[in-house]
Amino acid sequence: QLKVYQHMEENIIPVSFEELELEAKKNLEEKAYYYVAASAGSPTDARRNTFAFEKYEIVPRMLRDTSERDLSVELFGSRIPFPLLCAPIGVQSIIHPEGELASIRAASEMGIPFISSTAATSPLEKTMEAAETDNHWFQLYWSKDREIAASMVKRAEAAGYKAIVVTLDTTMLGWREKDIENTYLPFLQGEGIGNYLHDPVFRSRLEKPPEEDMKEAIKLWAGIFGDPSLTWEDLEFLKSQTTLPIVLKGILHPDDAKQALQHGMDGIIVSNHGGRQVGSVVPAIDVLPEIAEAVDGKVPVLMDSGIRRGSDMVKALALGASAVLVGRPYMYGLALAGEDGVKQVLRNLLADFDLTMGLSGRSSIQELRSKALKRV
Ligand code: FNR
């Protein structure tokens, strides 16, 4: 109880996601706001991920001594305090001048792993240096030039990242109506390619260093960003480049989850990229149960797309997720109050989760596995 009141005094930004989004909108340039908030497909598609959680209700249990709650989980041999990670989000400089550095400082202060994006403004090494802990992961956009992809992975390993997340759903950018109307793609203005500009192989492909000719660098980026020709067989190449666990992000079909296992992958993230890639895409929470069943505990199954509250976390974990990722909420915290804003968003989400667990009669994630939800 005390915890809740402490939160009330500390809050510097709105607590509810809906208010947070409205406030962030006021603080951001309109194009940047829509780049974060909108999705592929129609404006209502943007809400599908969150609505999908309403199909499930939590069924609390009573008199089970929940005074001590252990919400930690183990992922790839290391224990994290909560089943929560910060989703990889590129180009955070359009949200706040300190971008990824503010976010990783906030996440790491709470022991939360931060997944650093290939498309970050800050080079992955600099981001890691800003962290207080070393349990962070690197997210790879596999570029058409596979030597660049390999170089990114090697840099991530050398910088101390603990896992490689390969995002499969963004071999091309999705049809995002708002961004097209706004003629807005931050990368074409040189935002969000900072991590590429720092890459020795990327630089070696340029005739002039980007400090002298940024246009050439942007053109190269646009030419190599994604590779729609990738197939399952290409994962062998990636495996040969690193000893880190490889986690596939963007899995939405149980057969793809099985393929991931067959190809020796170490984990998967059930995700539809926050609805930003395919219009009318199936919500990740809707396919999570069948994917968890297909994987059958062989590797961790993480989930993102639509996590907004503690109850959403409870539902995802009860439906088979080992942990969840959160995206837009921490972006809005960043927009409103930089590092402190991110911290507040994460703290509120976790306090809500912790209370929801305790009041539902559950003291650990394992206890969520049995009849924690009712489907309506
Ligand atoms: C993303 N996401 C993303 N994913 C990824 O693998 N690499 C990236 O660089 C980005 N960039 C990115 C930018 C912005 C502005 C958003 C909103 C999202 C997707 C992200 O990792 C995650 O899948 C979703 O954000 C999860 O959905 P919610 O929590 O935002 O609903």
Q: What is the pLDDT of residue 1?
A: 39
Query: What is the band of 5 on the pLDDT scale with cuts at 50, 70, 90?
Result: low
CB 345 within 8 A of CB 33: no
Q: How far is the CA of 328 from the centre of ligand 1 (A)?
A: 7
Find out whether 139 and 117 touch, Cβ atoms under 8 Å.
yes
* Structure-token pair, residue 16: 């509810």
- Taking residues 149-155, report their average pLDDT: 98
Q: To test the ligand 1 pocket, which listed residue (95, 276, 308, 342) has its Cβ within 8 A of the most ligand atoms?
A: 276
Average pLDDT over residues 38-67: 94
Indicate if the pLDDT at residue 113 is higher than 90: yes
If DSSP codes are grouped into helix, strand and coil, which group holds residue 304? coil
pLDDT at 11: 78
Question: Which pTM value belongs to this model?
Answer: 0.98
Give pLDDT, residue 99: 98
Angle at which helix 328-359 crosses helix 30-37, to 10 degrees, equals 40
Mean pLDDT, residues 169-182 taken together: 96
Q: How far is the CA of 348 from the centre of ligand 1 (A)?
A: 20
Instruction: Provide the pLDDT confidence category of residue 2 given band limits of 50, 70 and 90.
Output: very low
Query: What is the fold of 2-375?
Result: TIM Barrel (3.20.20)
Please choose from 273, 307, 315 the residue to mutate so as to test ligand 1's pocket, defined by most ligand atoms within 8 A of CB.
273
Tokens of 171: 């071999």
Q: What is the ipTM of this complex?
A: 1.00
pLDDT in tens, 210-253: 999 999 999 999 999 999 999 999 999 999 999 999 999 999 99
pLDDT band at 45 (very low <50, low <70, confident <90, very high): confident
- What spacing in Å lies between the alpha carbon of 273 and ligand 1's midpoint? 5
| pLDDT for 107 | 97
- For residue 273, indicate whether it is catalytic: yes
Domain boundaries, the chain: 2-375
CA angle, 105 then 107 then 108, to 5°: 65
Quote the distance between the C-alpha of residue 262 and its chain's center: 24
* Parallel/antiparallel/unpaired status of strands 78-80 and 73-75: antiparallel
Q: What percent of the chain has pLDDT over 90?
A: 94
Adjacent-strand bridge partners of 75: 78
User: Pick the residue with more confidence: 159 or 1?
Assistant: 159
Ligand 1, CB cutoff 6 Å, lining residues? 35-36, 49, 87-90, 117, 119, 139, 167, 249, 271, 273-274, 276, 304-307, 326-328
